[in-house]
Amino acid sequence: MERRGFIKYTGTLSIGLLAKSVLDFTALTKKKNPVIMIVSGWQDVNIGDIAHTPGFLALLQKHIPQASVILWKKSESKRVDEMLMKNFPGLKIIHGSFDKDLVPQSEELKKAFAESDLFIHGSGPSVVAADWLRCWDKQTGKKFGIFGVTIQTIDEKLKALLEKASFIFTRETASVEVLRKSGLSGDHIAFAPDATFSLAIHDEQKASAFLSENKLEHRKFICAVPRLRMTPYYKINGPAGWSEERIKQVDELNDRFKETDHAKLREAIITWVRKTGNKVLVCPEMTYQVDIMDELLINPLPEDVKPFVLKRGYWFPDEAASVYAHAHTVLSMECHSPIIAAANGTPSFYLRQPTDTIKGQMYYDLGFNDWVFEIENSTGTQISDRLMSVYSDYPLALETLKKSMKLVDKRYNDVFRIINNSRSLVL
């Protein structure tokens, strides 16, 4: 992928040119209060993956407020379910499986299928729940769509599924190009940013207590998020399914680059502390990162810098959002902490590693070019200088962020117009 010019897709949507066969769907249901079923919640060891769900629920609440929503949650976590219900009290959450023949194995799931008018696959790293879509399609024959995913490769089985979708919204334009090259095109395919950009949940109580305890003042600290080149899932979920050779390959790749990558982030931390006298919060996006904070970011720091650096254990996106809202800038090697920060009005840098898929294209699509650093082509000095330029003219940085977030909102408005105008629902 080219850094800036992979594809110049403005996402201009021609609603009036939608094919008649698509528009004819609107005559089928005409329900005043439709029921929308979504599948989301891929894993709970990553605040980015957790944040997809409340972000998308907020979008549905804003753009289709009359709809009832059923969440078919792929992962099971009582804490996450409680967080979602606290913020979306009208939400119905179900868990359930299906057999190899795509037959639902619970009455609750069968009932949800019968009640729902439209099924949507939520934001994610790929079409994670492809079989969930196939199950819905086989059992109901009703419309389904995909919202805010990355599609990096397409095999024949996935292509056959995508050809049935009423809409396919990818979270960056690079995926639109992948679809085009696979022979999939049309006005029902468009760029819709990751739903995390719409995250609106907070935990002010926890955040306030943490900030107060650690004397972190509003806009007077930065956040730094580490990341290894490849996520060591065998350490998180256990080694089942991981061969010794695969573990060795991942560990060797991570060991090869972890110091050079994080040295660049450390340089920005050192510059920040020495030039501003303000603090740094090292925090995780994934659970495993709690174990690498000391080794890669804190212990190697100069002695005069260490007293200004704090760390936070694993948290949930509502608390992270509340803390990021008070930060000056968030510097992250992970993709979603910068999005959570941006959604809360805080400038953020994405230090992108080449192993982190084509999803990073979304930052360029949304005009965040100056805040994306391809880690292999960037120096610690460049990151530090950009950080200090944000510090020296913070009002300009905030205005830059506002412009990009307006573009995010425009994209959401455009794609929901497609859903509202072209689906089997009159909304």
Q: Per residue in 246-283, pLDDT tens?
A: 999 999 999 999 999 999 999 999 999 999 999 999 99
Residues 190, 51 share a domain: yes
What is the pLDDT, as a whole number, of residue 186? 92
* Structural domains of the chain, count: 2
Q: Does residue 5 fall inside a structural domain?
A: no
pTM, entire model? 0.92
Q: Does residue 7 fall inside a structural domain?
A: no
Residues 90, 193 share a domain: yes
Is 117 within 8 Å of 425 (Cβ atoms)?
Answer: yes
Would you place residue 371 in the very low, low, confident or very high pLDDT band (cuts 50, 70, 90)? very high
Task: Provide the domain limits for residue 278.
Answer: 204-406
Q: Say yes or no to pLDDT of 16 above 80.
A: no
Q: Say yes or no to pLDDT of 343 above 80.
A: yes
Q: Of all residues in the chain, what percent carry a pLDDT higher than 90?
A: 89
Q: Per residue in 105-163, pLDDT tens?
A: 999 999 999 999 999 999 999 999 999 999 999 999 999 999 999 999 999 999 999 99
Residues 49, 134 share a domain: yes
Backbone torsion region of residue 143, taken as left when φ is above 0, otherwise alpha when ψ lies between -120 and 50, otherwise beta: beta
Residues 181, 209 share a domain: no
Q: Per residue in 89-109, pLDDT tens?
A: 999 999 999 999 999 999 999
Q: Does residue 10 fall inside a structural domain?
A: no
Residues 339, 224 share a domain: yes
Q: Does residue 134 fall inside a structural domain?
A: yes
Residues 91, 192 share a domain: yes
Residues 349, 235 share a domain: yes
Q: Does residue 8 fall inside a structural domain?
A: no
Residues 154, 285 share a domain: no
Residues 137, 217 share a domain: no
Find the CATH number of the domain harbouring 255. 3.40.50.2000
Q: Does residue 139 fall inside a structural domain?
A: yes
Would you place residue 235 in the very low, low, confident or very high pLDDT band (cuts 50, 70, 90)? very high
Residues 92, 235 share a domain: no
Residues 417, 396 share a domain: no
Residues 259, 228 share a domain: yes
